[in-house]
Structure 1
């Protein structure tokens, strides 16, 4: 149900670090490969079964993600039941299920989503005091797998690993029989996978560290003040769970403080980086739900009222963000996909004039349609006053279009852009013979280069 009630776009990485890479791997239409390989396997299976219909390519990966998310929720419930009791476990489970941000994110094909799910799986085997499910090998293997998929997955585990090491009596055995074997197998597997697809030996995790931390190139995509996660990030993803989280932090026994330490540590580490996003701290949300559930269980007289409040206050943002806000990129791809079923497919040329990676591409079209979008690669050369293609375009769209398409034979058959751009390029559209054929709703909160609607223009056919 969650999967089918999330029909909106969140961030470009939802497609461009997973589905688009996987689609190219399998179907070969014009980051590391470990995570996309999961979806490539799904695509390959559909291809071999001759079931590679575009709708299946869109929904099967998300359904797979939904199944994993459901399994992770059950593991979280099971963990709390073993640590506490069935009543507390039900409260934590309820908080996890009714969290608007969990609902919004858990079925998306984001590396952050897989990172979060693997964190829950690993936590269920972590040797917390009172747990009967602890397994050093299992939790270390799952943590290592999460780190291969997204290296930042190790951040919340640093205090947990340190705590485990201090409490472990057989430290040498932990290192020699668990840490080293798990590390070697995981890194070796990652190296081999990336060697096969890149054609050379690449340690993707090291490149990730260099790009995002050492060179801090993430600022190319925006920067925020150091306190953003404390004043906006964490309060927003917690939503109305925030007072319950604070109450739970005060109530919980000392043995659970390590989970709170993991949350605080993670937020502090991410706060040192200039580029910040809500999804980056998604992996600690299940930790927070543990404290929320603990609070809910101890409310007694106010429990029913609190449950109703949490359910209603999270239902509205979950439905709005899942069904309405930023749905344009997915809806407009349906219009593009229709070109695959026309006799003019080979002549079609779609140009997406939107902030780069605003839409998915071949994973949601699934035919060798000629498509182009504005490029925005970060500067890896250290060039002064670097400006990408998208910024050059938006500095003067009309001049850019006239220069780029100086000859009518170069013109795209279809143009796709946000409504805020229409007036500025109206003379180009009229002069070159384009007509509007579709208007797609995107958001009630347009800002900057992003408009409230997406327009589809088609070049008129000559009589």
Structure 2
């Protein structure tokens, strides 16, 4: 399943559709025909893989456990906490780079454009609500913002298109922003590819270059690289070391 908190931005959209646009019956129909069967199926899969069997008595509700541990019990704080403004000041600029000013501006221009047409600004509502909710959660990570990226760039493209069509200095600024964004993204891609994401090189050296039998591998990185894929079939045992101060 998707991350449990990813659908947060859809809550106000669903509320608008049900409360103000007469979509209660289609919503209930979709819930019964689509949502509930999918949820039951995923619960059965989780139960099967975690407990080894589906006996009808013991069930694994991954979504409930996720919410209970991370939000209710607040255990996510052990992964680190940041102030409420961290997404807006640090992570969002890191994602949108040169387009960050356009992203902020597009929230307001999209609202104005949709209101002038008598339409609901779903994209702005989604992004604003998502940022609001996630900013209230102490534990923050850059990847948590990924669900808003496609919708944000739709609004950005709408803003840039309207600005370029209007001509003048603003059109020139928009054109320069696009070119600058492309250059910055290419530089980031090159840096990440050549320097940052290189944690596979030691595995390649041990399994392909050194040519000696490998008995054991000890690493603290349990998720950044597919260790088990590299050492599968070599007879090596991969040990994930936890840096527990106790």
Aligned to 1:39: none
- 1:260 corresponds, among 124, 127, 140, to 124
* Contact 2:218–2:238 (8 Å) recurs in 1: yes
C-alpha separation in 2, matches of 1:356 and 1:192: 27
* Contact 1:349–1:370 (8 Å) recurs in 2: yes
| Structure whose residues are more often helix by fraction | 2
C-alpha separation in 2, matches of 1:308 and 1:182: 43
- Residue 190 of structure 1 pairs with residue 22 of structure 2: no
1:134-186 Cα offsets, whole Å, 9 max, x none, are: xxxxxxxxxxxxxx331112211111111111233252x22432123222111
Give the alignment of 1:363-378 within 5 angstroms. Answer: 363-367=229-233, 368-375=235-242
Aligned to 2:177: 306
C-alpha separation in 2, matches of 1:224 and 1:308: 33
- Residue 217 of structure 1 pairs with residue 75 of structure 2: yes
Give the alignment of 1:38-117 within 5 angstroms. Answer: none
- Deviation for aligned residue 1:341: 6.0
- CA RMSD across the alignment: 2.4
- Residue 226 of structure 1 pairs with residue 226 of structure 2: no
* Contact 2:98–2:177 (8 Å) recurs in 1: no
- Deviation for aligned residue 1:364: 2.9
* Contact 1:195–1:202 (8 Å) recurs in 2: yes
Aligned to 1:422: none
C-alpha separation in 2, matches of 1:157 and 1:163: 10
C-alpha separation in 1, matches of 2:136 and 2:30: 31
**TM-score normalised to structure 2 length:** 0.82
Secondary structure, in 3 states, of the residue corresponding to 2:97?
helix
* Contact 2:4–2:66 (8 Å) recurs in 1: yes
1:78-135 Cα offsets, whole Å, 9 max, x none, are: xxxxxxxxxxxxxxxxxxxxxxxxxxxxxxxxxxxxxxxxxxxxxxxxxxxxxxxxxx
C-alpha separation in 1, matches of 2:128 and 2:225: 34
1:43-98 Cα offsets, whole Å, 9 max, x none, are: xxxxxxxxxxxxxxxxxxxxxxxxxxxxxxxxxxxxxxxxxxxxxxxxxxxxxxxx
C-alpha separation in 2, matches of 1:284 and 1:170: 24
* Contact 1:349–1:371 (8 Å) recurs in 2: yes
1:393-448 Cα offsets, whole Å, 9 max, x none, are: 8xxxxxxxxxxxxxxxxxxxxxxxxxxxxxxxxxxxxxxxxxxxxxxxxxxxxxxx
Query: CA 1:167 to 1:323, structure 2 compared with 1: closer, same or farther past 3 Å?
Result: farther
- 2:19 corresponds, among 163, 166, 170, to 166
C-alpha separation in 2, matches of 1:339 and 1:361: 16
Aligned to 1:361: 227
- Deviation for aligned residue 1:279: 0.4
Aligned to 2:97: 239
* Contact 1:156–1:263 (8 Å) recurs in 2: yes
Secondary structure, in 3 states, of the residue corresponding to 1:186?
helix
Secondary structure, in 3 states, of the residue corresponding to 1:298?
helix
Give the alignment of 1:280-299 within 5 angstroms. Answer: 280-299=144-163
- Residue 274 of structure 1 pairs with residue 138 of structure 2: yes
- Deviation for aligned residue 1:248: 2.4
- Residue 337 of structure 1 pairs with residue 207 of structure 2: yes
* Contact 1:159–1:262 (8 Å) recurs in 2: yes
**TM-score normalised to structure 1 length:** 0.45
Structure 2: unaligned runs, 5 residues or longer: 52-57, 165-170
C-alpha separation in 2, matches of 1:334 and 1:158: 45
* Contact 2:127–2:148 (8 Å) recurs in 1: yes
* Contact 2:123–2:155 (8 Å) recurs in 1: no
Give the alignment of 1:394-405 within 5 angstroms. Answer: none
Secondary structure, in 3 states, of the residue corresponding to 1:372?
strand
* Contact 2:217–2:238 (8 Å) recurs in 1: yes
C-alpha separation in 2, matches of 1:295 and 1:320: 29
Structure 1: unaligned runs, 5 residues or longer: 1-147, 376-389, 394-463
